[in-house]
Copies of this chain bind each other. A is one copy, B any other.
Amino acid sequence: MAVLGAAGRMGSTTVRAVESAPDLELVAALDASDDLAKVAAAGAQVAVDFTVPSVTEGNVHALVDAGVHAVVGTTGWDDAARARVRDHLADRPDVGVLIAPNFALGAVLTMAFAARAARWFESVEIVELHHPDKVDAPSGTALHTAHAVARARRAAGVEASPDATEQSLDGARGALVDDVRVHAVRLRGLTAHEEVLLGNPGEQLTIRHDSFDRVSFMPGVLLAVRQVGSRPGLTVGLEHLLDLA
């Protein structure tokens, strides 16, 4: 297999993870200056793309043309870009592409479980906690989770969480994301953490993910590399590989 963006943080971590996986062989590690033709020339069957938003879509189309399955962790994909890949793959029914916004199994499972549980509880709120050097609040993962939870509740006809607040200091009740309250804590020492709190009369369900280190993405990346060849077409999201049914 091949790694694109091999000099970056995620790319180099992937290179090391592949090298220590006995069932995988790294045949090409490309940086920004390398020609993508090297991937096919090296005989790679799967390529992992951890590059940058400006080149990732072009990379994927080139890989599809070359008949190489692609696992994509680069951000910046919108609906239109995904649709173009889906169209392209219609002509190449033997090739699989997996685009995942998050490869941490725990984060993916947190979102999937939260969405499944949300319709069964009166209340749901999200608390995300990160290191204080983060520039955006709430985190993208928390926003995704809030939307997934809100969609599941709407589909089941569940009302918004009850809230009798009348007097509130600005910001105390968090940000309202698609009718779900999201609170962002910033604390020195932390990395990336998310907690989904669900409440019913007399009980609480909490689903929490702690990410301590970017090595946490590697089991998910390797899982995608191993499975993408047997999933022709476009797959969006690692949850489809996790056998959650």
Chain A residues at the B interface, C-beta cutoff of 8 Å = 104-107, 109-110, 113, 116-117, 119-125, 127, 129, 132-138, 161-177, 181-191, 197-219, 242-245
Residues of B within 8 A of A176 (CB): 171
Residues of B within 8 A of A107 (CB): 203
Residues of B within 8 A of A242 (CB): 116, 120
Task: Determine which of B167, B185, B203 lies in contact with A181 in the assembled complex, contact meaning CB atoms within 8 Å.
Answer: B185
Task: Determine which of B169, B175, B183 lies in contact with A185 in the assembled complex, contact meaning CB atoms within 8 Å.
Answer: B183
Residues of B within 8 A of A105 (CB): 120-121, 200, 203, 205
CB pair B172 A175 closer than 8 Å: yes
**Interface pairs (16), CB distance under 8 Å:** A106-B198, A106-B204, A109-B117, A113-B207, A122-B189, A127-B127, A129-B197, A137-B172, A161-B186, A171-B173, A172-B184, A173-B184, A188-B199, A188-B200, A206-B210, A244-B244
Task: Determine chain A's interface SS by DSSP, over half rule.
Answer: mixed
Q: How far is the CB of A113 from chain B (nearest CB, A)?
A: 5
Residues of B within 8 A of A243 (CB): 116, 119
Taken together as a complex, chains A and B put the C-alpha atoms of A133 and B164 apart, in Å, by 5
Taken together as a complex, chains A and B put the C-alpha atoms of A244 and B152 apart, in Å, by 12
CB pair A213 B208 closer than 8 Å: no
CB pair B209 A203 closer than 8 Å: yes
Q: A135-B164, A200-B105, A208-B208 are in contact. Are A125 and B185 (CB under 8 A)?
A: yes
In the complex, the chain B residue whose C-beta lies closest to that of A128 is B172
Taken together as a complex, chains A and B put the C-alpha atoms of A200 and B187 apart, in Å, by 8
Taken together as a complex, chains A and B put the C-alpha atoms of A95 and B242 apart, in Å, by 35
Taken together as a complex, chains A and B put the C-alpha atoms of A191 and B113 apart, in Å, by 24
Q: A201-B213, A204-B106, A205-B209 are in contact. Are A138 and B172 (CB under 8 A)?
A: yes
CB pair A109 B172 closer than 8 Å: no
Task: Determine which of B127, B185, B200, B209 lies in contact with A219 in the assembled complex, contact meaning CB atoms within 8 Å.
Answer: B200
Task: Determine which of B122, B171, B215, B245 lies in contact with A170 in the assembled complex, contact meaning CB atoms within 8 Å.
Answer: B171
